[in-house]
Structure 1
Amino acid sequence: MKRITIIGAGFAALSTARKLRRLNAEVEITLIAPKAELVFLPSLIWIPSGKRKAEDLRIPLERFLHDSRIRFVAGEATGLENGGRTVLTNNGKVENDGLIIACGGRFIKKLPGIEHAILPCEGIAAAENIRERVAALKQGNIALGFAGNPNEPSAMRGGPIFEFLFGLDTQLRREGRRKKI
């Protein structure tokens, strides 16, 4: 029997696992992630304005994993051996015949001046940090921005940052703080 290992528990990892299961009822699928949960990243923009809380964005995966007959390994991938046929985790090794890495992007803050920026798409902790900073702000400016991929102009999507901006604007107006911020 073939053994497929998927690293990650986001949209790409879960849709891949589901598709694999539909294509082959016998394949052994192992999912490696820190927790058996999906964080619904599109709603991160609503945490700073208080429209959503962290627990609203965490979706337990136990039922999905059970119903799809997917083995779950709680841990973080720390390396590969044997050309990717062995995944090293902080909880041991996972052997496979095929490996899919779908653990999302990593946010590297190497640009000068960005080291103090908070990126909402980094996850729940970053979105909560933005909420706390906005709550503590008495006056000043909030700077928002987005960038595209110069090698793929069609990859630039500014919609979420504008939703985020308008959510903050609405919040500040409701609180009577918009004229100062």
Structure 2
Amino acid sequence: MLAERSDEWMAQMGSTFAFTMIRGGVAQNVIPGSVSLLQSWRTNSNMKNATEFVKNIIRHTPSLRNKLFHIHVREHGSCEPPSPVSKLDEYFRKIQRYVALAYGLETISAPFEWLGGTDSKWYISNGVGKRHYRFGPIFLDGNDDFKRIHSTNERIHVGTYEKMVRFYIALILDASKSNVTR
């Protein structure tokens, strides 16, 4: 299976997390009074609450429950499940067509669950529009692009940026031409 061979594909299939901020001691030979770790979660629709998931791991892991230290888990920021997936209808087919125009007719677009946070949650909660595809027309070229996502020196190739602009121009022109407000 393709997903079993790639961390990037596995991240699309399930929830992911990373320790993004760690605070603790100030000297090599002194045990700190407290240590804090901030974990960033990207949850798929199967995981309803990352905080409860972490608490459950601690409850069922004896080495994490000892007398030397105590673990306190709390939410920091938002901890929301992914937004619902929109219909694959004529509007999605337009997106597929514009991707093919920007990236080449042999390019295939397929839906999957978007694990990153997007502004669509605000549109959905305020009743703006009926379809929210949470889509970015970005082509990641090889392992180097994947390694730079949310990392030092994060960037995309200038050719990819050009194709993204072409995609959005076609989409905006079509929307203004057909006066789509749905």
TM-score by length of 2: 0.25
Query: Which has the greater radius of gyration?
Result: 2
* Higher RCO (C-alpha under 8 Å, 6+ residues apart): 1
